[in-house]
């Protein structure tokens, strides 16, 4: 049913147009709730538009104040800033009912503070240590006009805790979980406003498992999230993280987890000597194994992790270990008289290397010693030849020339180079004949030694004496001769 009276009254009320309602009633009374023909409908529609035109003008000229939302944490100071054009004409309202202030005068308790900023163009209202009761709508009016509205929401951080089984987790201990077995851990957030949502992480990664979250009534403010997952070996931390609040940062409760698992064993075999095998049972487990067993030919050989057995006869060996979670047994291994699959031990390798290197080192030392001896012998021969040449060059010279030679010999740069080939005298024809005769023993004439010996003259005696003792020759410095000779006369001879 078309009811223009109610429609017009609602529009006029919303626009604030001061038109009496009885006038509107009289306008539509003839309709009696119905419009009978098209002519009457057109007439009354024109009347409605005429009445609504002033209302539209009022709505167009009316200012729309900006509105913003703000969230804050309970127990902190909250500041709201409004742009103004006059301090004394500024009014702050709470929920459009309670007037907080006018100008710089505060009408309520001392939980508010006012401050003028930016050359009296802004006014800041501060709610000191705001609590949940301070949540609501704050409005700023200047010169009778609404300037700004703030929808303030107060948030409360949650209290987090973890529960595992029937106990509450404490940071002083670890959560003991078992590998391959499902673990159920609960995260409980109490007292949050608004209610938070919870998520799980394992070692910084999103947890893989079933997550079930329960929210209580708003007044109870409890959120419970349950994680069911299978731990992996190596997992260290489990974390529950909050979310869903604007002013309150996300909070985390973290637990150190201890993943327990049964032993996983392997048998290590090595031949330390030529007649023994070393058996070592290596196992990884948490907690560490408390029982070991090494078996040889199905008989318990030792309850320790290590044992030595003889390699002189074949054997079948294996080991096992256990802890509070479970046990593990290795596959049997057949050992022959020589376990060729195992590499040589370190001691044997070092011995072989030493035996290979020792002959090489011995040969090198012998070669070096021989080279040194050969060099020393060659040095001695060179020294002896030099001394012989110096001795044969000491021929008596005239006094003036001899004195000059003495000066030249004192200066090594003035010593003349001696061509040994030039010192050899060419044999005469008679000497050649004597040489040919001496090659034939039958042609050698018998000589009287006494008749052939010539009596040396005084000059010859002096020369002979000089040759037999080169250090005594004329023009020779005895001290220099000894230094050059080096005192090795006996070794040269």
Q: What does the pLDDT profile of the chain (493 residues) look like in tens digits? A: 444 444 444 444 444 444 444 444 454 454 444 445 545 655 666 667 666 665 555 444 445 568 899 999 999 999 999 999 888 989 999 999 989 999 999 887 778 999 999 888 999 999 999 999 999 999 999 988 999 999 999 999 999 999 988 788 877 788 899 998 999 999 999 999 999 999 999 999 999 888 888 877 667 889 999 999 999 999 999 999 999 999 999 999 999 999 999 999 999 998 766 678 899 999 999 999 999 999 999 999 999 999 998 877 889 999 999 999 999 999 999 988 654 444 556 667 888 888 889 899 999 999 999 898 888 888 888 888 888 877 776 555 455 444 444 444 444 454 444 444 444 444 444 444 444 444 444 444 444 444 444 444 555 445 444 444 444 444 444 444 444 444 444 333 2
The pLDDT of residue 213 is 84
Contact 224, 186 (CB under 8 A): yes
Contact 387, 379 (CB under 8 A): no
154: Cβ contacts below 8 Å, ≥ 6 apart: 71, 72, 73, 74, 130, 131, 132, 134, 135, 193
Phi, psi angle pair for 177, to nearest 5°: -125, 160
468: Cβ contacts below 8 Å, ≥ 6 apart: none
pTM value > 0.75: no
Query: Using CA atoms, how far apart are residues 461 and 463, in angstroms rounded to an integer?
Result: 5
Contact 160, 191 (CB under 8 A): no
Phi, psi angle pair for 115, to nearest 5°: -150, 135
């Amino acid at each position: 049913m078309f009811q223009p009276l109610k429609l017009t009254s609602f529009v006029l009320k919303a626009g604030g147009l001061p038109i009496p309602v009885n006038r509107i009633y009289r306008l539509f009374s003839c309709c009696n709730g119905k419009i009978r023909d098209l002519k009457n409908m057109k007439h009354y529609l024109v009347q409605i538009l005429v009445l609504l035109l002033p209302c539209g003008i009022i709505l167009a000229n009316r200012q729309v104040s900006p509105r913003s939302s703000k969230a804050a944490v309970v127990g902190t100071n909250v500041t709201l800033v409004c742009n103004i054009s006059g301090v004394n004409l500024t009014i702050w309202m709470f929920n459009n009912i309670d007037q907080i202030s006018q100008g710089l005068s505060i009408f309520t308790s001392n939980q508010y503070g006012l401050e003028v900023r930016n050359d009296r163009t802004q006014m800041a209202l501060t709610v000191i240590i705001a609590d949940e009761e301070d949540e609501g709508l704050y409005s700023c009016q200047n010169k009778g006009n609404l300037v700004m509205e703030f929808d303030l929401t107060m948030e409360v951080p949650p209290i987090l805790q973890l529960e595992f089984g029937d106990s509450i987790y404490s940071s002083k201990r670890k959560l003991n979980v078992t590998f391959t077995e499902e673990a159920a851990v609960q995260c409980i957030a109490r007292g949050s406003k608004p209610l938070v949502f919870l998520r799980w992480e394992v070692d910084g990664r999103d947890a893989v498992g079933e997550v079930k979250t329960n929210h209580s009534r708003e007044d109870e403010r409890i959120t419970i999230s349950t994680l069911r997952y299978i731990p992996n070996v190596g997992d260290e931390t489990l974390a529950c993280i909050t979310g869903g609040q604007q002013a309150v940062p996300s909070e985390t409760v973290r637990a150190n987890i201890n993943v327990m698992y049964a032993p996983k064993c392997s048998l290590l075999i090595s031949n330390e000597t030529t007649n023994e095998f070393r058996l070592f049972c290596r196992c990884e487990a948490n907690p560490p194994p408390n029982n070991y067993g090494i078996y040889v030919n199905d008989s318990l050989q030792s309850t320790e992790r290590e044992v030595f057995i003889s390699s002189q006869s074949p054997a079948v060996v294996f080991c096992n270990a256990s802890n509070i979670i479970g046990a593990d047994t290795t596959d049997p291994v057949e050992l022959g008289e020589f376990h060729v699959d195992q590499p040589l031990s370190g001691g044997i390798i070092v011995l072989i290397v030493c035996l290979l290197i020792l002959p090489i080192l011995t040969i090198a030392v012998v070669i070096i010693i021989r080279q040194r001896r050969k060099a020393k012998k060659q040095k001695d021969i060179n020294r002896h030849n030099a001394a012989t040449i110096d001795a044969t060059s000491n021929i008596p010279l005239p006094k003036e020339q001899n004195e000059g030679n003495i000066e030249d010999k004192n200066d090594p740069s003035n010593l003349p180079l001696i061509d040994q080939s030039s010192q050899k005298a060419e044999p005469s024809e008679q000497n050649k004949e004597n040489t040919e005769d001496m090659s034939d023993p039958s042609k050698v004439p018998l000589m009287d030694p006494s008749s052939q010996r010539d009596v040396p003259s005084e000059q010859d005696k002096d020369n002979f004496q000089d040759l037999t003792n080169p250090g005594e020759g004329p023009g020779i410095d005895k001290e220099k001769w000894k230094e050059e000779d080096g005192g090795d006369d006996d070794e040269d001879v």
